[in-house]
């Protein structure tokens, strides 16, 4: 079967890499893709929001399955746009993707169904939000309601930082209409954890747990990014806590979505905080594979990813077995200098051919007129090391990352360090 994957980052590269291993997949197309993805798939320069062109392309290519990678098109209803084509699409419909597209919707849903999350209030008026903020203890969390490329959340450790974050979102409109509403939320201390799950209505099949590193600098300093690295599994978090998170958060949320007339089909991604007493609470939900969580989760998948996608879109997820490797995976993200702020594109990348002992997923790369690899984004590459344990996988990832060079290259040096304490 031929497949069309929509997206063009490291997550989509990892998905395509996994799908390409399936004997049931013939040809993979990607729109728009990137230079790294082009090594595995035929890329078409169509943007993820060009729904008419994407549906026409899928029909023209006679693909048997469409897989949606990014969050924005899901929130805007790309799955619904494929209805007339009758081509199966892996991903939630617009009304279900709202669990990521609106933090207000998500928090209200959790509150209604008594699913563990931080205390919060929501505002669409700046003055009212500021008055409430002034009465809160520090640290405090401020979130833009809508999608903001992973950068719409501020954990403020001072009054000044909190006031500036609120003003930036609601007054300066740095995230546009995504900041028309805000959530002001209780700060949760503890260990972060990400659990991705394949979901088909009330059927929930959790993937291997992972942990992301959002802040740009070591020791979780600096502004949040789309993610500077991940690792899986989480040896320092007891399996009973992971099981509790699935039973008390993910499964009840899937059931709640069905009750609300918004059945979820695709990947439901829970961002969780594990409190010092071992209790998980919900930070956020995403309606798709995480980036860069996918880059460490899929290399640990032993089952055929195509089989899982196919079962999910046909309501048969409960009928299949999903197996995971005991191997550990660590992903180190190589980013452009200045990211998550302004950065330069077109910088030559050297050493890609030397990093043969790692899986290298391309997030923001291109080829110049001379055929050389160049940077084409903020996060450029995800270098994934595999090993018998986190220590071995981490050493492999960093050793291979050192072989890749480009001017301004930035990476965190402490990815997965928490797992080694």
Residue 119 placed within a domain:
no
Q: How far apart are the first and last CA of the chain?
A: 46
Mean pLDDT, rounded, for 67-76: 96
Share of residues in the chain with pLDDT > 70 (%): 100
On the question of pLDDT at 150 being above 80, the answer is: no
pLDDT digits (tens, 9 = 90+) for 256-287: 999 999 999 999 999 999 988 888 999 999 99
Residue 56's CATH number: 3.40.50.20
- Cβ atoms 19, 305 nearer than 8 A: yes
Look at residue 186 and tell me if it is in a domain: no
> Do both 173 and 203 map to the same domain?
no
- Measure the CA dihedral 95/97/99/102, to 10°: -80
pLDDT value at residue 177: 86
pTM above threshold 0.75: yes
What is the arithmetic mean of pLDDT over 10-15?
Answer: 98
Domain that holds residue 384: 328-420
**In sequence order, what are the beta bridge partners of 359?**
384
Tokens linked to 42: 């035929």
Count CB-CB contacts under 10 A for residue 373.
Answer: 23
Within a domain: 112? no
Least confident of 145-154, 181-190, 390-399: 145-154
Largest CA distance in the chain: 59
Task: Quote the CA–CA distance of 333 and 398 in Å, as a whole number.
Answer: 10
Q: DSSP 3-state assignment of 298?
A: helix
Number of H helices, E strands in the chain: 13, 22
pLDDT score recorded for residue 223: 86
Question: Is residue 294 located within the same domain as residue 346?
Answer: no
Q: Is the domain of 312 the same as that of 408? A: no
By CB neighbour count within 10 A (0-12 exposed, 13-18 middle, 19+ buried), where does 403 fall?
middle
Task: Give residue 151's pLDDT.
Answer: 72
372 pLDDT more than 90: yes
Residue 8 lies in a domain: yes
In the three-class reduction of DSSP (H, G, I as helix; E, B as strand; rest coil), residue 379 is classed as: strand
The answer to the question of residue 117 being in a domain is no
For residue 153, what are the β-bridge partners?
A: 143
Q: What is the rounded CA–CA span in Å between residue 316 and residue 63?
A: 21
Domain boundary pick from 319, 336, 364: 319
Tokens matching residue 326 = 């005991």
Same domain, yes or no, for 224 and 314? yes
Please, what sign has the CA dihedral across residues 64, 67, 73, 74? positive
Q: What span, in angstroms and rounded, lies between the C-alpha atoms of 413 and 418?
A: 12
Residue 379 in tokens = 């996060």
Question: What pLDDT band is residue 421 in, cutting at 50, 70 and 90?
Answer: confident
- Residue pair 211/304 in contact by the 8 Å Cβ criterion: no
Number of compact structural domains in the chain = 4
Q: For residue range 206-262, list pLDDT tens digits in order.
A: 999 999 998 999 999 998 888 999 999 999 888 999 999 999 999 999 999 999 999
User: Is residue 81's pLDDT more than 80?
Assistant: yes
The label of the residue with tokens 């899982």 reads 308
Give kind and range of the element (H or E) at residue 186.
Answer: strand 182-186
Task: Please tell me whether residues 138 and 228 are part of one structural domain.
Answer: no
Residues 135 and 230 in one domain: no
Q: What is the mean pLDDT of the chain?
A: 95
CB contact at 8 A, 90 and 36: no
> Smallest Cα–Cα separation from 389: which of 345, 341, 330?
330
Contact present, 397 and 385 (Cβ < 8 Å): yes
CATH of the domain at 366: 3.90.600.10
- Please identify, among 287, 319, 351, the residue that sits at the C-terminal boundary of a domain: 319
Query: Do the domain assignments include residue 404?
Result: yes
What 302-309 contacts at long range (C-beta under 8 Å, 24+ apart), as own/partner pairs, is 304/21, 304/22, 304/23, 304/24, 305/15, 305/18, 305/19, 305/21, 305/22, 306/1, 306/3, 306/19, 306/22, 306/24, 306/25, 306/65, 307/22, 307/24, 308/198, 308/205, 309/19, 309/65, 309/67, 309/90
Of 272, 292, 319, the last residue of a domain is 319
Phi-psi group of 176: left, alpha or beta (phi > 0 → left; psi -120 to 50 → alpha; rest → beta): left
pLDDT digits (tens, 9 = 90+) for 98-132: 999 999 999 999 999 999 999 999 999 999 999 99
Residue 359: count other Cβ atoms within 10 Å of its Cβ.
Answer: 21
pLDDT at position 15 over 90? yes
């Amino acid at each position: 079967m031929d497949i069309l994957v929509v997206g063009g980052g490291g997550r989509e590269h990892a998905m395509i890499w996994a799908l390409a291993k399936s004997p049931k997949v013939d040809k993979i197309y990607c729109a728009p893709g990137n230079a790294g993805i082009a090594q595995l798939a035929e890329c078409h320069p169509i943007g993820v929001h060009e729904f008419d062109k994407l549906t026409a392309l899928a029909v023209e290519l006679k693909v048997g399955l469409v897989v949606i990678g990014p969050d924005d098109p899901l929130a805007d209803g790309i799955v619904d746009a494929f209805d007339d084509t009758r081509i199966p699409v892996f991903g939630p419909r617009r009304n279900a993707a709202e669990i990521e597209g609106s933090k207000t919707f998500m928090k209200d849903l959790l509150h209604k169904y008594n699913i563990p999350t931080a205390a919060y209030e929501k505002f669409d008026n700046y003055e009212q939000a500021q008055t409430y903020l002034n009465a809160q203890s520090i640290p405090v969390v401020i979130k833009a309601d809508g999608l903001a490329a992973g950068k719409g959340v501020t954990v403020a450790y001072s009054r000044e930082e909190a006031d500036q974050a609120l003003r930036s979102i609601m007054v300066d409109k740095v995230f546009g209409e995504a900041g028309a509403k805000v959530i002001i939320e209780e700060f949760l201390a503890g260990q972060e954890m990400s659990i991705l799950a394949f979901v088909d209505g009330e059927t929930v099949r959790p993937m291997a747990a992972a942990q992301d590193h959002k802040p740009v600098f070591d020791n979780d300093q600096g502004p949040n990014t789309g993610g500077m690295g991940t690792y899986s599994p989480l040896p320092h978090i007891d399996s009973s806590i992971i099981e509790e998170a699935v039973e008390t958060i993910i499964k009840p949320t899937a059931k709640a979505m069905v009750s609300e007339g918004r059945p979820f089909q695709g990947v439901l991604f829970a961002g969780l905080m594990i409190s010092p007493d071992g209790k998980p609470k919900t930070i956020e939900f995403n309606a798709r594979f995480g980036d860069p969580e996918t880059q460490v989760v899929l290399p640990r998948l032993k089952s055929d990813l195509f089989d899982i996608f196919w079962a999910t879109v046909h309501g048969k997820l409960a009928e299949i077995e999903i197996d995971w490797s005991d191997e550990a995976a660590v992903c180190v993200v190589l980013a452009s200098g200045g990211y998550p702020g302004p950065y330069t594109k077109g910088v030559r990348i050297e050493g890609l051919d030397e990093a043969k002992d790692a899986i290298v997923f391309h997030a923001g790369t291109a080829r110049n007129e001379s055929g050389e690899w160049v940077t084409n984004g903020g996060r450029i590459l995800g270098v994934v090391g595999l090993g018998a344990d986190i220590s071995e996988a981490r050493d492999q990832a960093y050793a291979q990352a050192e072989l890749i060079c480009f001017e301004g290259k930035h990476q965190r040096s402490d990815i997965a360090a928490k797992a080694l304490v």
